[in-house]
Amino acid sequence: MCKDIKRRGVSSMIKIVLLTGFLGAGKTTLMKNILDAYNGKKLGVIVNEFGNVHVDSVVLKRNGIEMAELANGSIFCACIKDKFVDSLIEMSSMDIEYLFIEASGLADSANMGQILEGISVKTKGNYYYKGAVCIVDGESFLDLYELLPAIHNQLEFSSAVIVNKADLMDEAKLIQVLEKINEVNPQVAAFVTSYCKVNVINIVENLEIILKDPKETSNTIESRPKSFILSAESNLPFEKLEKFIAEIVGGTYRIKGFVNTDIGVVEISTVGNNIILNKWNEKIKDSQIVVISSVGIRIISILSKAIDNHLKGILHM
């Protein structure tokens, strides 16, 4: 890669920026801000969904952007890594200036360097990897950090960290979060904000990869959390939907999706026990909800009971 940079110059290469961060931290919000800020530039986007439903790409899709959607696993896991590699090779020959990659919330990006090195011949030196921006959910970070090795590696292999949801933290908790980040990655630049309101151009353009030896990812087929897709053919009663989500949320890392209801289309987004149900102004063809379990296979009985209690005969697994 170094020889390619010297020969061609960075300005003529496609610059890659990776966005990481746990489920619901704010990656899609940040990506929207980036696409707005770089409006007019030639952009490529790879969106990685953990579930088998393209929720984030619905939010991000817009004209003039080359987009690849990779679902049902982490792009760093053997389960779909080959599709990620194929997308990288294909986009390396496109007329784009930047390639922004939104990894799934459970992605462990410790092997990103290995992947790019492995395809360097096929991409003909067209890529310059600027580094990773990790979005941290400040409210839930300390509770989740010890449970999930992917969060450690997301931080360790990032060049910038955005501590999001600062409005939900007191000063003492924010200090603890920043101390833990500094412990994991003392070199990283940290930005504290809410709703991912940062100067994205300043962050992206000043991003410099922190050189570290890549290591094996913790993303494996065996270690991936269970995920389920719920669907409905008819409109859901909104009040019953609220009760259903409230009943199952305690057994999940993340719930997201779009559904048709008796009050219109609703976007569902939960992280831990935080629930957001917002009106969505665009039509959707199918009602689908992705549920990512924090309790393993036991989520099946939780979902079945909640469906029977609130949406029997309407919502299906």
Q: What is the chain's mean pLDDT, rounded?
A: 87
Sign for the CA dihedral angle at 177, 181, 187, 190 comes to negative
Q: Which domains does the chain have, with CATH numbers?
A: 2-205 (3.40.50.300), 227-316 (3.30.1220.10)
Least confident of 43-47, 102-106, 130-134: 102-106
Least confident of 32-41, 106-115, 189-198: 106-115
- Between strands 127-137 and 43-48, the pairing is unpaired
How confident is residue 79, by pLDDT bands cut at 50, 70 and 90? confident
Vertex 117: Cα angle to 113 and 119 (nearest 5): 125
- Taking residues 153-181, report their average pLDDT: 94
Residue 65: exposure state from Cβ atoms within 10 A (0-12, 13-18, ≥19):
middle
- Taking residues 204-233, report their average pLDDT: 79
Q: 3-class SS at 178?
A: helix
Q: 3-class SS at 30?
A: helix
Whether the predicted pLDDT of 70 surpasses 60: yes
157-168 confidence digits (pLDDT tens): 999 999 999 999
- Do the Cβ atoms of 234 and 227 come closer than 8 Å? no
- Taking residues 247-267, report their average pLDDT: 93
Q: 3-class SS at 312?
A: coil
- Between strands 252-261 and 287-293, the pairing is antiparallel
Whether the predicted pLDDT of 276 surpasses 80: yes
pLDDT value at residue 74: 81
Whether the predicted pLDDT of 69 surpasses 80: yes
Whether the predicted pLDDT of 93 surpasses 80: yes
| Token output for 144 | 């989740």
pLDDT value at residue 223: 63
pLDDT value at residue 61: 63
- Taking residues 172-193, report their average pLDDT: 95
pLDDT value at residue 272: 76
In whole angstroms, what is the distance from residue 303 CA to residue 317 CA?
A: 8
The pTM score is 0.74
- Side chain identity, residue 289: I
